[in-house]
A and B are shown apart, each in its own frame.
Chain A
Amino acid sequence: MIRARQGDANAFDELAMRHLTDLYRMATAMVGKADAGDLTQEALLAAWRDLPRLRDPARFSPWLRRILMNRCRNALRSRARHVTAELSPEMGDGRSEIADAERRIGVEDGLATLTDLQRGVVVLHYLVGLSLADVADTLGIPEGTAKSRLHQALTALRAYFGEDAP
């Protein structure tokens, strides 16, 4: 970390390698695979640029997650609210693949009913496994707000998918 802050690109490579997969998975859950790579790349580059300005190096991980989440939230805001199937070269034309793509689109439509902040709370809490306090810290919001957004998100998702509250 110290060497990266001093401008050592090789040292930053090690930091990027350590966090790349987790960031990519967060971005995938937030915006889908099509844009996850670009947003992960942008977030890491922004972190490199501003690393000397990070006051507390111990907070590198939450800071990096926040940069990525802000980029993902901006992408969600600017994105048209419609989803198309993402057919990748490795995807065959069998029924299971088609059914899987349809299921994904259905889930995405449900997630699209959430605000970008609600979606961010869901991803950080359920995918990354952060506590609500850490979710709030990452998103720069009060813990009470994180808790209420999670409750709103779960209520909206259950309503969308026709499930009763537990």
Chain B
Amino acid sequence: MKSDLPDPVRRQLYEDARAEPPVELLDRVAAQVRVTPQRRSRLVLSAVTAGVAVSTVAAGLVLVVVASWPNGPPASTAPGAASAVASATPVESDGLPATYMGQPVYRGDAIGEHIDADTSSSSFFIGGWLRGILVDCDAPPSPRPSSPLAPWCPSGWFLADHRPVRPDTLTPLHLIVGEHVTLSGWGMADPVILRVHAHDAQAATCAEVIRAECERAVVVEAIVWSGAPQ
């Protein structure tokens, strides 16, 4: 262990470096692996680009809505569209389908894990509940580079990974809607599936201190499904 750490911390890390995992831990992992399917398929869709609006996230992810609908969402993806619903598997206990168009629908922590595993800008599906929240931010404590992918103040539309009860239960994604995108028509009490991508090409233009945040930004290409009653 190097000596430039304060002595108490160095001693603590020295102990941690010798910690032994519980003997049953490997068995627990092995048991879960045998009941957990692997995710195999990859969806490759071209990203839709147009005017971009932005968002931030409490937990480090950024969701950006691409304003791809100059006159509002196309009928095939509007809430309650029968064709979209027919492409989804039956909903799970959390109210969202496990797959959409044969592809997995990521939610919660799985979204970030997928972004870490796949560093391409290929499209994938995420699910959750939309909610509009206005956040009043103080000025940043120090000058901070800004980017559409990494705005300073999170405000606007969020994607919660469960049915929101109060604003402070929101996790983990926040989005700001582009001027041509109208999310207010989507029932906030009902789950939605979004087609998104990460590792957007714009991340390369971000300042170094926020580039990792930009890389993890989740760019929304379309709302493809809603669990609103038919």
A residues bordering B, Cβ < 8 Å? Answer: 7, 9, 12-13, 16-17, 20-21, 24-25, 28-29, 33, 36-37, 40-41, 44-46, 48-55, 63, 66-67, 70-71, 73-74, 77, 103-104, 106-107, 110-111, 122-123, 126-127, 139-142, 144-145, 154, 157-158, 160-161, 163, 166
Contacts and interface: CB of A to CB of B under 8 A. Distances in A.
Given A54-B117, A140-B216, A9 B8 contact: no
Interface stretch (B20-28, B72-80, B144-152, B179-187): B20-28
A140 B215 contact: yes
Contacts, number: 151
B39 A70 contact: no
Size category of the B interface is 35 or more
Contacts of A29: 12-13, 16-17
A25 B16 contact: yes
A24 B34 contact: no
A161 B28 contact: no
A7 B110 CA distance: 19
Interface in B174-202: none
A59 B10 CA distance: 29
Given A50-B39, A107-B12, A123-B13, A157 B6 contact: yes
The interface centre, meaning the residue of B1, B3, B13 with most chain A CB atoms within 10 A of its CB, is B13
A126 to B, nearest CB: 6
Contacts of B166: none
A158 B11 CA distance: 14
B36 A13 contact: no
Given A16-B26, A157-B9, A9 B16 contact: no
A49 B116 contact: no
B216 to A, nearest CB: 7
Contacts of A28: 16, 19
11 contacts: A20-B25, A24-B25, A25-B16, A48-B33, A53-B39, A67-B113, A70-B112, A122-B9, A126-B1, A141-B211, A157-B9
Interface of B: 1-13, 16-22, 25-26, 28-30, 32-34, 36-40, 42, 59-60, 109-110, 112-114, 116-120, 208-209, 211-212, 215-216
Contacts of A7: 38
For chain A, what secondary structure do more than half of its interface residues adopt (helix, strand, loop), or is it mixed? helix
A7 B40 CA distance: 10
Nearest to A33: B19
A13 B31 CA distance: 10
A33 B18 CA distance: 12
A45 B36 CA distance: 8
B119 to A, nearest CB: 7
B196 to A, nearest CB: 16
A49 B11 CA distance: 36
B162 to A, nearest CB: 14
A165 to B, nearest CB: 9
Nearest to A128: B17
Listed residue (A13, A48, A63) with the most chain B CB atoms within 10 angstroms of its CB? A48
B39 A52 contact: yes
A70 B81 CA distance: 37
Nearest to A77: B59
Given A126-B13, A154-B4, 7 more contacts: A9-B34, A24-B25, A53-B117, A122-B9, A145-B209, A157-B9, A160-B6
